[in-house]
Structure 1
Amino acid sequence: MAALSIHERKRLRQIGHALNPVVMIGDKGLTESVVEELNRALNDHELIKIKIAGEDREARSALILEVAEASQSEVVQTIGKIALLYKKATKQNQKLSNLVRHAHLSN
């Protein structure tokens, strides 16, 4: 995946500010069902927030990178236990895509 430009990253962060986490990763870590849910959410919404349990900062950072690799998405931003992920949909759903639904926030 091509790296996002500074302008694109800023726009995605603005949109992501209004979002709530849609995938929570608990103590069991990155399971097959979590990867399936991540892929479904990214295909539908393109831009999602995920929340990762755990107190160890290094372990959370490693898990976020693992999640991005498993879902073939780009990490836009991480703040504490929350990560903002972006993956361009092959066919954008106008009703579900957060990029379309919250486009007015990035102006």
Structure 2
Amino acid sequence: MKLTNKQIQFLRGQAHSLKPVVQLGANGFTEGVLAEIESALAIHELIKVKIPAEDREELTLYVEAIVRESKATKVQLIGKTLVLYKQAKEPKIILPKAK
């Protein structure tokens, strides 16, 4: 899903008060973690994922893999916290209209 700048700004505001609901463990990005992310996205639509990577390259690889496998949209990355959005079949978050 392609988001406009206005929609991304709106989602950033919505995500501000959220706590991370999924955290990658010592095993990294596993099928279990992917299942948790997909489940959380189906329930909440907008989530934060904590990625305890050692360096920037590792963090970038995790982010790319999570976005690709979950088919979610990356809203932003702050430090080691990734904000993801995936619209549910019955949307809970009403996005501003795209121009």
- TM-score higher than 0.5: yes
Structure 2: segments with no counterpart, 5+ residues: none
Q: Which residue of 2 aligns with 1:30?
A: 29
Alignment RMSD (CA, Å)? 1.5
Q: Which residue of 1 aligns with 2:40?
A: 41
Structure-1 separation of matches of 2:59 and 2:26: 11
Q: Which residue of 2 aligns with 1:6?
A: 5
1:27 to partner: Cα distance: 2.4
Q: Which residue of 1 aligns with 2:81?
A: 82
Structure-2 separation of matches of 1:17 and 1:78: 12
Structure-2 separation of matches of 1:12 and 1:36: 23
State the secondary structure of the residue aligned to 2:21.
strand
Q: Contact between 1:43 and 1:89, CA under 8 Å: does it hold in 2?
A: yes
1:26 to partner: Cα distance: 1.9
1:29 to partner: Cα distance: 1.3
Q: Contact between 1:47 and 1:86, CA under 8 Å: does it hold in 2?
A: yes
Structure-1 separation of matches of 2:17 and 2:43: 17
Structure-2 separation of matches of 1:56 and 1:87: 27
Structure-2 separation of matches of 1:26 and 1:33: 11
Structure 1: segments with no counterpart, 5+ residues: none
Q: How many residues align?
A: 95
Q: Which residue of 2 aligns with 1:57?
A: 56
